[in-house]
């Protein structure tokens, strides 16, 4: 009822853990993988990064604001950690980087990955993430470089801040197997007592319910112009949100900030979707894009 095929990979349901929110430990991924259709790791680069000083994550009224700064261990140590991933759902390793030789090494290092996600959209690290996605030509080169190193599916993760329709169409031509949209969107918060920005990096990325209508429109727009699957991400916190994204055209969805508030979210979403499909006598895959007709 909830099973889907995503770029040739069988998922028990369309609910995927979004990159980064639960950090870089296998034990946390293992908990989530029991109920999720797939899990995406924290983004990793060949060298590893310390990230920004605390405060780096702020919980506010409509979601989270974070500037973690792509903090992650070096690829080799992260791969060692991932050896204890229990494989109860497919593993998607999120990569950042733009040099062919780094991507090539990371494909080899992360041999346990079922697919790769390319982070072209992190809003708070200069020269990585969103800065790369702004350059359509460079983004296509990176996708081509990664595709030339692996037969596994490559998902390009974009931002609603990009010229996302043009970028996604070009990435499809360059060989991307799916598009995930959106990453967090740039934002900030000020502490009125100290009269200073709260995040040590001053600004960061907004996630959670605040960005849901924006991400939903991105999915709707991309479904119209792409042949490859679209994965919706942004502000999903209940099963109605999941259904909206699927009806807008998402083959699968990613859930990030909601996990911060409840580790059981995948279980409850899954159960609610089964109940919805039973009541409507349909499979989840029957609903992809129905809002367009």
Ligand X SMILES: Cc1cc2nc3c(=O)[nH]c(=O)nc-3n(C[C@H](O)[C@H](O)[C@H](O)COP(=O)(O)O)c2cc1C
Closest CB to ligand X among 187 and 249?
Answer: 187
Closest CB to ligand X among 187 and 192?
Answer: 187
The C-alpha angle with vertex 23 and arms to 70 and 207, in degrees rounded to 5, equals 70
Alpha carbon of residue 242 to chain centroid: 14
Closest CB to ligand X among 31 and 227?
Answer: 31
Query: Could you give the CA distance from residue 263 to residue 233 in angstroms, rounded to a whole number?
Result: 17
Query: Could you give the CA distance from residue 69 to residue 279 in angstroms, rounded to a whole number?
Result: 44
Rule CB under 6 A: is residue 157 a binding residue for ligand X? Answer: yes
Q: Which of 257, 273, 276, 284 binds ligand X (CB under 6 A)?
A: 257
Q: Which two tokens stand for residue 228?
A: 């490859």
Size of interface with ligand X, in residues (CB under 6 A): 28
Q: Which of 13, 150, 184, 201 binds ligand X (CB under 6 A)?
A: 184
Q: Which two tokens stand for residue 13?
A: 């349901």
Rule CB under 6 A: is residue 201 a binding residue for ligand X? Answer: no
- Tokens 């609903």 locate to 287
Rule CB under 6 A: is residue 42 a binding residue for ligand X? Answer: yes
φ, ψ dihedrals at 44, nearest 5°:
-130, 145
Rule CB under 6 A: is residue 37 a binding residue for ligand X? Answer: no
Closest CB to ligand X among 18 and 146?
Answer: 18
Rule CB under 6 A: is residue 124 a binding residue for ligand X? Answer: no
**Among 7, 62, 122, 282, the one annotated catalytic:** 122
Q: Which positions ≥6 away from 152 have C-beta within 8 Å?
A: 107, 113, 114, 115, 116
Closest CB to ligand X among 26 and 207?
Answer: 207
Q: What CA–CA distances, in Å, run from 88 to 29, 32, 114, 173, 272? A: 10, 9, 12, 32, 21
Q: Which of 162, 183, 243, 246 binds ligand X (CB under 6 A)?
A: 183
198 exposure class (CB count in 10 Å sphere: 0-12, 13-18, 19+)? middle
Rule CB under 6 A: is residue 19 a binding residue for ligand X? Answer: yes
Rule CB under 6 A: is residue 208 a binding residue for ligand X? Answer: yes
Q: Are 65 and 206 in contact (CB under 8 A)?
A: yes
Is 122 annotated in the active site? yes
Q: Which of 4, 14, 16, 20 binds ligand X (CB under 6 A)?
A: 20
Rule CB under 6 A: is residue 36 a binding residue for ligand X? Answer: no
Query: Interface residues with ligand X (CB under 6 A)?
Result: 18-21, 42-43, 57, 64, 66, 68, 70, 94, 119, 122, 157, 183-184, 207-208, 211, 233-236, 255-258
Active site residues: 122
């Amino acid at each position: 009822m909830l099973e889907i095929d995503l770029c040739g990979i069988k998922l028990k349901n369309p609910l995927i853990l979004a990159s980064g929110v639960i950090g870089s430990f296998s034990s946390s991924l293992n908990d989530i993988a029991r109920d999720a259709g797939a899990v995406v790791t924290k983004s990793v680069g060949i060298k590893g990064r310390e990230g920004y000083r605390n405060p780096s994550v702020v919980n506010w009224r409509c979601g989270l604001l974070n500037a973690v700064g792509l903090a992650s261990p070096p690829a080799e140590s992260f791969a060692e950690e991932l050896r204890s991933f229990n494989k109860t759902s497919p593993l998607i390793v999120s990569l950042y980087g733009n040099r062919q030789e780094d991507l090539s090494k990371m494909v080899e290092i992360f041999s346990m990955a079922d697919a790769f996600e390319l982070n072209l959209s992190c809003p708070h690290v200069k020269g990585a993430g969103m800065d790369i996605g702004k350059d359509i030509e460079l983004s296509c080169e990176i996708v081509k470089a990664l595709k030339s190193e692996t037969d596994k599916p490559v998902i390009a993760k974009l931002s609603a801040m990009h010229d996302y329709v043009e970028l996604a169409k070009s990435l499809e031509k360059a060989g991307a197997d799916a598009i995930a949209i959106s990453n967090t969107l740039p934002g900030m918060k000020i502490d009125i007592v100290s009269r200073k920005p709260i995040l040590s990096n001053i600004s960061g990325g907004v996630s959670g319910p605040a960005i849901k209508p924006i991400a939903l429109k991105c999915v709707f727009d991309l479904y119209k112009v792409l042949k490859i699957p679209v994965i919706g991400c942004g502000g999903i916190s209940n099963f109605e949100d999941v259904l909206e994204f699927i009806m807008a055209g998402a083959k699968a969805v990613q859930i990030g900030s909601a996990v911060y508030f409840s580790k059981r979210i995948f279980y409850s979403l899954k159960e609610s979707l089964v109940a919805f499909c039973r009541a409507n006598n349909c499979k989840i895959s029957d609903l992809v894009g129905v809002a367009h007709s």
